[in-house]
Structure 1
């Protein structure tokens, strides 16, 4: 829920100086640096990852540690990924019933191969933000730049400041625990009703956390649409009430000041609602407990996409990017190509290498990797983009990525779901490309995402 607050802080510059400092003083900040693992992932230059935690507890203002948050429940955990060029925002929901590796007793000094598998939402209750950060970073490989805990009471004020938020429910809701009763159809909810709506679980749908996450994502889409529709940014009277409620609901790390929020918000102010995507970590039933879930192989694909700063929306990931314009580098002038087999199927890289050699690529080597990433990724060193485009033209749907880790070579990683090599438009020689006898396995799973501009009833 804090995503919206963060985005709209960009207009704080329009607020009078005294109001600025009032908003600054609303936020509680705590220092968790001393409790974070010493072997954290490396922070990528450009992308930004923010951990958002929906909780029922808020620490006192000017707090200096996280002790007051230990024991609090984390109903909702989101990882918000801002792309390096700030053209896209991806919001990933992590099911609280996920069984994941977690530091024992939240002690991150214990070697990771000794971490037990525990229920995900226990991390925040046992050790506050630091334990949750250590858990998420270890299990995803992402570096989390900031965190923010959003108190549900403040969340109600944010909704009321918007004048209510429309929701669409296909079936009637009557949930005593959530204190919510709605007929089927579209409703405009006030803050109290909205809080009940995003927390409904047991009396709507299949009663799972996954159904609740779907409603939360639809609700967040509605919030973004409503703020856009009402021109909130151009209404200082309504905007201040929203920001006041939003900042009162926040507990953050020491570095996430209002000024930092403003800088972040400024960087994404031109992101359209169609470029805000909501994704749920792909899961399946946990074998040892049918009431719990575990992450699937597709979750690895999701986290890798964020590590590579790639879009997760289907309209982007399904679009071939190999050769949108004429190729300018002949196969004969392409430097060494290394085809890495990431499918687990023997012989695929060698087959693809021969299909390139017959087209005039002079140096083609092969290798293997245990990493499973759907599709084909073509990585190239600085200055070799055009040569990489010639290589990528042979692999339908290939993605291009500049990398400093390939030396002077162009590296092609072939994964599940990859298609057979095709002729490049500027190929050399006339010998036919051999027919493939080895095929890649099916893609592990697609990543389902909804964008903020979708119909809230969908």
Structure 2
């Protein structure tokens, strides 16, 4: 199934290899690159998929000249991470409006990947393709994430349409009617099966739906790709040589790839992931926040660091870390009503601290307070003055698995810092009163938690 998402890696049709436009990007990626952690034969593998909005060439001209934003751009950028055990795939969408440090232009020849990163300039993500093609995009991604990109593929409008038509159309679901003049696309609300031309309009639609943001468009694109995976599985594409050949022909006829990514490596990768089903493919968007200098742009939020770390270390962000348990059996010596507790929400999940306060109050902790933190962390850390260690132990009993951290100048307070994966408040052995603990309504996923994912087997209307 995953073979489709890397443009038909299962194919042994050598004649298709000549269709692919090969690009040497060495002049743009520079020499200071991350260390690869895998290759086509084994280990984690990272492939950057880009959609080009080029308006030249057969099948591309009818979408206008692009005079409002001259040159090629890559509005769709997806990092495909194939796990080292070849049992799952994570597709990371990078918003086109992200403002990120990027290699500066040099001598009118596009971005220069050899310029040290401390001299980079902040630039909108999709401008990098315009300035230096796939090489500049890859150098920018590697420099900001320390993730090595093993291979890349670029597909244009015509190739996209051809692949959808080769599948016999792709089902979509829209809760509202769409009328987008710029994408030249209209669609009534409900479920539809789109041909290639319609599907291109659907995934390009942005300003006329919802809040008009690129983030909203990314969610529709992820739902569409999920549907592609489901459709390919239902139609048994890989078992139909005639349909597979049409699909591969459409893909390779409008495809640009690196010089080392031929049909041989594609087949190797396909064979290693042939057991992966749609339930093992997940989509995620790089977490963003408002860009202070321009309301129409975004910047990567601190939670993005957690996502990139997961990709770097080959973690599956859909698998929560095991919940910790309280193992300290020493009797508690300080009653809850003798402790001043401050709860800090460092999880990025709204309402988590307030929920914790209610769980503490019903057990006798007097007037605990809360605030929002300025960063992101994992688990629960309990800070306390060295002479308040016994008070901190009582508080820790309410948060199984919490880490105790002595801090000078804390005074009488015991501070609870809730990070991603923080457990719900538990019952303290020496609690006061018998009012039941409130049922948790807010949760946060452990490890890379707080980052929303979409599984490819989800219903397309969800």
Task: Kindly indicate whether residue 29 of structure 2 is the aligned counterpart of residue 40 of structure 1.
Answer: no
**Residue 20 of structure 2: aligned partner:** 27
Q: Whole-Å Cα distance in 2 between the matches of residues 179 and 397 of structure 1?
A: 54
**Residue 4 of structure 1: aligned partner:** 4
Q: Whole-Å Cα distance in 2 between the matches of residues 59 and 21 of structure 1?
A: 27
Structure number with larger C-alpha Rg:
2
How has the CA–CA distance of structure 1 residues 374 and 248 changed in structure 2, closer, same or farther, with 3 Å as cutoff? farther
**Residue 427 of structure 1: aligned partner:** none
Q: Whole-Å Cα distance in 2 between the matches of residues 304 and 415 of structure 1?
A: 20
1:41-84 per-position Cα deviation (integer Å, ceiling 9, x unaligned): 11113100011110033999xxxxxxxxx941212011100000
Q: TM-score, normalised by structure 2?
A: 0.69
**Residue 247 of structure 2: aligned partner:** 242
Equivalent pairs, count: 347
Please report how far the alpha carbon of residue 37 of structure 1 lies from its aligned counterpart in structure 2 after TM superposition: 2.1
Q: Whole-Å Cα distance in 1 between the matches of residues 118 and 291 of structure 2?
A: 20
Q: Whole-Å Cα distance in 2 between the matches of residues 7 and 375 of structure 1?
A: 40
Mark the runs of 5 or more structure 2 residues left unpaired by the alignment.
58-69, 106-110, 326-344, 347-374, 381-398, 404-416, 424-428, 430-443
**Residue 332 of structure 1: aligned partner:** none
Q: TM-score, normalised by structure 1?
A: 0.70
Please report how far the alpha carbon of residue 396 of structure 1 lies from its aligned counterpart in structure 2 after TM superposition: 4.7
For the Cα contact (< 8 Å) 2:7–2:251, is it kept in 1? no
Q: Whole-Å Cα distance in 2 between the matches of residues 268 and 132 of structure 1?
A: 26
Please report how far the alpha carbon of residue 322 of structure 1 lies from its aligned counterpart in structure 2 after TM superposition: 7.1
1:372-403 per-position Cα deviation (integer Å, ceiling 9, x unaligned): 65349xxxxxxxxxxxxxxxxx98599xxxxx
Runs of 4 or more, structure 1, over 4 Å off, are: 394-398, 442-445
Task: Kindly indicate whether residue 116 of structure 2 is the aligned counterpart of residue 111 of structure 1.
Answer: yes
RMSD between aligned residues = 3.3
**Residue 93 of structure 2: aligned partner:** 93
Mark the runs of 5 or more structure 1 residues left unpaired by the alignment.
14-19, 61-69, 324-342, 345-370, 377-393, 399-413, 421-431, 433-441
Q: Whole-Å Cα distance in 1 between the matches of residues 71 and 287 of structure 2?
A: 27
Q: Secondary structure at the match of 1:245?
A: helix
**Residue 137 of structure 1: aligned partner:** 142
Alignment match of 1:291 (pick from 265, 290, 296): 296
For the Cα contact (< 8 Å) 1:58–1:251, is it kept in 2? no
How has the CA–CA distance of structure 1 residues 375 and 4 changed in structure 2, closer, same or farther, with 3 Å as cutoff? farther
Q: Whole-Å Cα distance in 1 between the matches of residues 461 and 312 of structure 2?
A: 32
Please report how far the alpha carbon of residue 415 of structure 1 lies from its aligned counterpart in structure 2 after TM superposition: 9.2
Q: How does 1:296-445 map to 2 (within 5 A)?
A: 296-313=301-318, 316-317=319-320, 319-320=321-322, 374-375=378-379, 396=401, 416-417=419-420
**Residue 205 of structure 1: aligned partner:** 210
How has the CA–CA distance of structure 1 residues 104 and 189 changed in structure 2, closer, same or farther, with 3 Å as cutoff? same
Q: Whole-Å Cα distance in 1 between the matches of residues 174 and 250 of structure 2?
A: 26
Q: Which moved more, 1:91-100 or 1:229-238?
A: 229-238
**Residue 262 of structure 1: aligned partner:** 267
Q: Whole-Å Cα distance in 1 between the matches of residues 121 and 227 of structure 2?
A: 38
Task: Kindly indicate whether residue 454 of structure 2 is the aligned counterpart of residue 450 of structure 1.
Answer: yes
Q: How does 1:119-130 map to 2 (within 5 A)?
A: 119-130=124-135
**Residue 65 of structure 1: aligned partner:** none
How has the CA–CA distance of structure 1 residues 245 and 29 changed in structure 2, closer, same or farther, with 3 Å as cutoff? same
Q: Whole-Å Cα distance in 2 between the matches of residues 219 and 24 of structure 1?
A: 27
Q: How does 1:140-179 map to 2 (within 5 A)?
A: 140-179=145-184
Q: Secondary structure at the match of 2:75?
A: strand
Q: Secondary structure at the match of 2:6?
A: helix
Please report how far the alpha carbon of residue 289 of structure 1 lies from its aligned counterpart in structure 2 after TM superposition: 0.6
For the Cα contact (< 8 Å) 2:8–2:247, is it kept in 1? no
Q: Secondary structure at the match of 2:48?
A: strand
